[in-house]
Structure 1
Amino acid sequence: MSRASMPPVVYDVTRLVTRGLNTSPNGIDRVDFALARRFLSRGAVPLSCTAFGPRLAETRKALEAIDEIESFWREDGDVARDAVYQAVVAALTAPKGARIARARLERKPGTERIARNWRALRDWALHLGRPPSEIPQGAVYFNGTQFLLDRPWYVRWLGSRPDVKPVSFVYDLLPVDQPQFFRPVEAMLHPRRNRNICRFAAGVVVSAREVATRFKAFAAENGRAEIPVCVARLPVSPVFEAATEPPRELAGVDYFVVCGTIEPRKNHLLLLNVWRELASRGRAPKLVVVGKRGWLNENVVDMMARCPALAANVVEAAGLSTPGLRQLMAGARALLMPSFGEGFGLPVAEALVAGAPVIASDLDVFREVGGAAPDYLHPLDGLGWLQAIRDYSEPESRRRAATLARMAEVKIVNAPDVFFETIETFLAAL
């Protein structure tokens, strides 16, 4: 679409500029950075929460922050520079019986880097900038993460600028529907931020039809049944599309990957119990647990740390780079996603784009993302997951071959340009 038809855009970079304190991106980070780069490179104005309230900043300053943080995350494709990836390889190739689970593989930035990141965050917090009153008439205010939308003092300026059209990306309403998987404070704040979205937003963007249906019901309950909703399927990083041979250093190693923050909704405990049973039978492959530790995960963390049957077979890897994850997927028997609920499930799309088989929970949203390609199981079917892992571990696994055959027949859509253009067309029509 022509840039002339787009209204002026103000992109909220508040959450983005705090990411330099994290050693690697999660799914929302990747989407936030992609949207920010798209809008800012096309002249959008950044807005950030500061000690002085919401303030407008320079586009150049925000783009420099994006480049700096992505450089820190090592998104350049060189796994040789990824210490976590190298440590995972060492753990997977350790002599049989070595206790690899006791040492948590985690990237720890140096003291100098931590100090620099804190200085950058301080500079943003103390940024004087310009007040929201200087936002162009009729502009779109885009918040790609819902960050701080639960805070009345943060959204107050929207009431004084009714000409501005707020748009938010809503990833899911899982803390509303499944509060047992979240911290009590999150189960309280998520409904509040979505009620504020219903109150102020001129439109909402979601990544899946299932989320659109759920949000429309929530909006109707809060007096905004008419709010426009745009469905834009999340794009996968080009890193996963690049042709990648299985790692030579892992030749002959049977391993699986599970990717996601370690928190109860991701259902890591099921996999650990499967691996404990496999280890007791003396035929356990390796499992790489990719993701940082989140919340309400004491059972999972304790089991990984204290269960002797897992010590030689499970590797916990926090801070793995995106290229490192792509490399692991190239040689994995399968990506495992036993989640109880997801708003999209970006690792499923990433694995399928990369050509890695997927065993996933039988969720409607996963079927929307992966079609018939993944091998679907109920998230509580422990025996089913046990049998699937055993089947995929076989040297000439017919079950794995059948999944690869389905993947060849199912076209996995990954069109970043379509994602951005769908959103831009939606914004132009508001």
Structure 2
Amino acid sequence: MKFAFFTLGCKVNLFETQALEQLAASRGHEIAARDADAVIINTCTVTSVSDHKNIRAFHKLRRDNPHAVIAACGCFAQTDPDRVRSTGEIDLICGTSDRAQTIKLCEDAVQGKNVTAAVRQPEEYEYLPAGIPHGRTRGLLKIEDGCNNFCTYCIIPYARGRVRSLPPVQVLEETARMAAADVHEIVLTGIEIASYGQDLTPQCSLTDLLCRLLPAFPAIRFRLGSLDPRLINDAFCARLRCYNNLAPHFHLSLQSGSNTVLQRMGRKYTAAQYLYNVNLLRKAFPDCSLTTDLIVGFPGETEQEFAETLDFLRQCAFSSVHVFPYSVREGTRAAAMPDQCSGAVKTARAERAKQTATELRTKYLQRFIGCILHDVLPEHQSNGRWAAHGRYGFPIYIASDTARKNQPVTIRITDLYRDGVEAEII
């Protein structure tokens, strides 16, 4: 059989799709981009905009694969299976649990068997093997699923369930398998990896896990996915600062720099606490890259609160900020809040925030001009240059005829270029 896969949303979804591709291939199926017998779409529902993207994708996949069995899994399929079904394009709806069964269900459906796919609330961690796309320098390893935070704007805890963790022994086993496949960098990902291990007996924090993982695989660089800033404390910094294979790139979720907005969002920290944690990281990991997400135009956000946020971005001196206009998500508490901002206000504030983010990014990158970086990994060629990433996470473009894919090089940064920096091999 020929299987095709389509992914919307975050790195967790991408990891899960890669795992399903591997499972399908292990059962003797061909992974194809067209003329598929079965198509699996991994859906996202983080915003109402995501829902519309899912539905458009359903229609396109049906047009492109009129005779295929099409299955939807993921967060949108979990939270609103009736809406998925009402499109008339999807044959199987599988949600966010028992993901591996999707392959078998598609096999049976293609063979004409009557199949029933149930959407149930995820309760246990579903082990899925890390998919390792051929020739890739970096790989994803999902170590956690679910979230217990229930922020007022977020539907994901309802889609993913409570925190569930991959036991440390299995994390080490999966890492060894990826190392054997010549993966040079592993991104540890999950829905809320700062909560890793809370459900395990005995408990094992993310810091505990890293203190086992980093020395066990010194030749692999590990990069952390998005972190709740409350994870960052003296123990985190003291225990991890000595490991050269931990990428000094930390994505600390912010959402707002205004305490009153943070309170309405249901975030469990203040701006002062966040800044304290940022300073801890900067002391332990000099020159580290600090990136974040920002929601603008949250219900009730005043001009003063937005100004506080812009000022806070400058205090933190982020190297990159992902800016999102607030999108109403039905089923969340924020959707029912008064004083919803207009579309025009959200758009204008997003543009102002992006301008500030660009200024901060330029200032951060300029510090590296003339610097030498080791173990930079060329990934692919683009416009006569090799696109690469180093320890700090920003894009590096190398003008070279001698670089080779996946072969680490030492470079000198010469100038700013596109969304990153330009460099030469030394």
Bin for the TM-score computed over the shorter chain: 0.3 to 0.5
Structure number with the higher helix fraction is 1
Structure number with the higher strand fraction is 2
Higher relative contact order (CA 8 A, sep 6+): 1
TM-score (norm 2): 0.32
